[in-house]
Amino acid sequence: DAKTTQPPSMDCAEGRAANLPCNHSTISGNEYVYWYRQIHSQGPQYIIHGLKNNETNEMASLIITEDRKSSTLILPHATLRDTAVYYCIVSGGYTGNQFYFGTGTSLTVIP
């Protein structure tokens, strides 16, 4: 079962930063936090993942709290193409570890 809680929907103005929160209070020590997004009728797209340090790549930044019970995905300059459902997932990350999806956050970027 999913171990994460996310707000069902958020809006963000185009060009502004989108901050998507995720609660994972039951995360265990060897579990990673993964973020994926799904644009309508497509397979999920990997965004970023991390264990305890903050991470940044070309798509986004991931901020994980020190107690690891929550995290925030930051899209620094949202565009209309970032409109999607964003999923936060907790998993051990080893080959064979299951990824269970929660309900996700539907992000709408507004022109």
Partner 1 sequence: GAVVSQHPSRVICKSGTSVKIECRSLDFQATTMFWYRQFPKQSLMLMATSNEGSKATYEQGVEKDKFLINHASLTLSTLTVTSAHPEDSSFYICSATKLGTAKETLHFGNGTRLTVT
Residues making contact with partner 1 (CB under 8 A): 2, 32, 34, 36, 38, 41-46, 49, 51, 87, 93-96, 98-104
| DSSP single-letter state for residue 95 | T
3-class SS at 82? Answer: helix
3-state helix, strand, coil in the chain (%, to 5): 5, 45, 50
The least CB distance from residue 34 to partner 1, in Å, is 7
Q: Which of 38, 55, 108, 104 is nearest to 78 (CA)?
A: 108
User: Smallest distance from the beta carbon of 101 to partner 1, in angstroms?
Assistant: 4
Q: Which is nearer to partner 1, 17 or 39 (CB)?
A: 39
Q: How far is the CB of 57 from partner 1 (least distance, A)?
A: 12
